[in-house]
Amino acid sequence: MAANETDDGNAPMPAVTLWLGVGGLAPFLVLAAALLAGASLPLIGGEPAIRAALMAYAVAILSFLGGVRWGIAMGYGDARLATRDYVIAVVPAIIGWGATLLPATPGLWTMALAFVLLGLMDYGLACRTVAPEWYGRLRLALSAAVSLALGTAALA
């Protein structure tokens, strides 16, 4: 077995990962829907505050996903591959921070694109058998939903 290869790439997805992943979509969906509806939210406020809350949550989640890649890279036996993935792991946080410096609409589009690209790259981890196969599928599905929510918010 190669360094960091999973024992069984076809193992079933732990239920908790699905529940936590789907639960993590709630802020994206609620905030994007509020923007689309032109609603104000208790404890948050109106459109500018909702956009800021959505961006803050997106940056947090994108940074978390970079951390997942960093954790996977720690298990590599090949220093060159580990270095590559350590570098890739910090890019999402930098992109997220940069997106917060942009006006709201371009910032949301930047985040939507970042989630698409990182989702595809994370799917590649499963294809390379350094992450379970279910992780790749989960990341694609969640990234698609997040990107749609961010794109909807950018258009609202």
Q: Please write the tens of the pLDDT for every residue from 23-67.
A: 999 999 999 999 999 999 999 999 999 999 999 999 999 999 999
Between 2 and 147, name the one with better pLDDT. Answer: 147
Tell me the per-residue pLDDT of 120-151, one tens digit each, with 9 for 90 and over.
999 999 999 999 999 999 999 999 999 999 99
Domain membership flag for residue 14: no
Q: Return the pLDDT at 11.
A: 83
Domain membership flag for residue 2: no
The secondary element (H helix, E strand) that includes residue 116 is helix 104-127
Q: Which residues pair with residue 45 across a beta bridge? A: 41
Residue 138 sits in which domain range? 21-38+45-155
Domains of the chain: total:
1
Q: Say what the pTM is.
A: 0.90
Distance of CA 59 to the CA centre of its chain: 9
Domain membership flag for residue 111: yes
Domain membership flag for residue 85: yes
Q: Return the pLDDT at 6.
A: 44
Query: Using DSSP, how many helices (H) and how many strands (E) does the chain show?
Result: 5, 0
How far apart, in whole angstroms, are the C-alpha atoms of residue 77 and residue 38?
Answer: 51
How far apart, in whole angstroms, are the C-alpha atoms of residue 11 and residue 17?
Answer: 13
Share above pLDDT 70 across residues of the chain, in percent, rounded to a whole number: 94
